Amino acid sequence: MVLGGHSFGGYIGVAYCERYPERVERLIMLSPLGVTDGQDPNVQRKTAMMQSSLRGKAFIGIFQTMFEWTTPGGVIRSFTTHRGNKMSRSYVERRLPEITDVDESETLADLLYLNAALPPSGEYFLQSLLTSSMLAKKPLLFRVPNLKVKAVTFMYGTSDWMDISGGMYTQALCHILSLKEDGLSSSGSSSASSSASTSTPEVNVFLVPNAGHLLTLQNPEIVNACMIGIAGGKVQVPEEEMATLMELNETEELHESWLEQTLKIREESVNL
């Protein structure tokens, strides 16, 4: 099948492919969470910008402290129903002005509030997977290159707060590993068969116009068309309106530890 996942669903999609690779032909991750690590220059730059002001430092400190003992749903449940509903409606109005239908906007706000207000379940494992800086403890950057699937596609919005660098660095890392595999294969080395028994998946990155992190709601027509095209279907949207396929940046330098960590995971999987 072609498996797709948005945000945290992208993270879960990778875990599914690790467990059941024979069931997935292609993985599509839409603005996925947990891709890169703290060595990403873009992550470091954003963190430095936030910490450059007292307000930013206070926000980071409060958020990280709260993350250790509660969840976003826990905060919502501490409010009254009236206040919680009001916050949800305000969030939808501010973050999703693209939804102009009043009934649809109110229904979405109700859905968001009820998901947070109902008795908790999955939210309790957030601390086991993420750090207080909202970085994955086991970043997908090192796991995607070791997936036993043919292809992986990243999709981001042009105004996405989830940085596209995660997808681009993963693509570059997979490209380097593919070149190494080709070199080992052409050399005829017998030791190459075990280390390169799993070929690195082909990785592409798309940028969806007029969309942010919630790209499936902000530009559903283009997202749907792009996913249909990725899956091999016929696209009905004019090419000039389609998502942009990002070019591989072969000049981008990767952190020296990234290749090492990726190969370590590969070696561990081979030895299992």
Report the range of poorest mean pLDDT among 9-23, 44-58, 95-109, 186-200: 186-200
User: How does DSSP assign 83-118, residue by residue?
Assistant: HHHHHHHHHHHHH-TT---HHHHHHHHHHHHHHHHS
Q: 132 and 64 in contact (C-beta within 8 Å)?
A: yes
Whole-model pTM above 0.85? yes
Average pLDDT, the chain: 89
In the chain, the domains with their CATH numbers are 1-37+136-253 (3.40.50.1820)
- pLDDT category at 113 given cuts 50, 70, 90 is very high
239-266 pLDDT per residue, tens: 888 999 999 987 778 898 999 999 999 8
| DSSP string for residues in the chain | -EEEEETHHHHHHHHHHHH-GGG-SEEEEES-SS-S-TT-HHHHHHHHHHTTSHHHHHHHHHHHHHHHH--HHHHHHTS-HHHHHHHHHHHHHHH-TT---HHHHHHHHHHHHHHHHSPPSGGGGHHHHB-TTS-BSS-HHHHGGG--SSEEEEEEETT-SS-THHHHHHHHHHHHHHHHHHHHHHHT-TTHHHHTSSPPPEEEEEEETT--TTHHHHSHHHHHHHHHHHTT----S-GGGSPEEPPP-TTPPPPHHHHHHHHHHHHHHHH-
The number of beta carbons lying within 10 Å of the beta carbon of residue 225 is 21
User: What confidence score (pLDDT) does residue 184 get?
Assistant: 65
User: pLDDT at position 72, please?
Assistant: 80
More confident residue, 186 or 81: 81
pLDDT tens digits for range 56-98: 889 888 888 888 888 888 888 899 999 999 999 999 999 898 8
Tens digit of each residue's pLDDT (9 = 90 or more) over 133-150: 889 999 999 999 999 999
Q: What is the pLDDT of residues 219-236, one digit of tens each?
A: 999 999 999 999 989 988
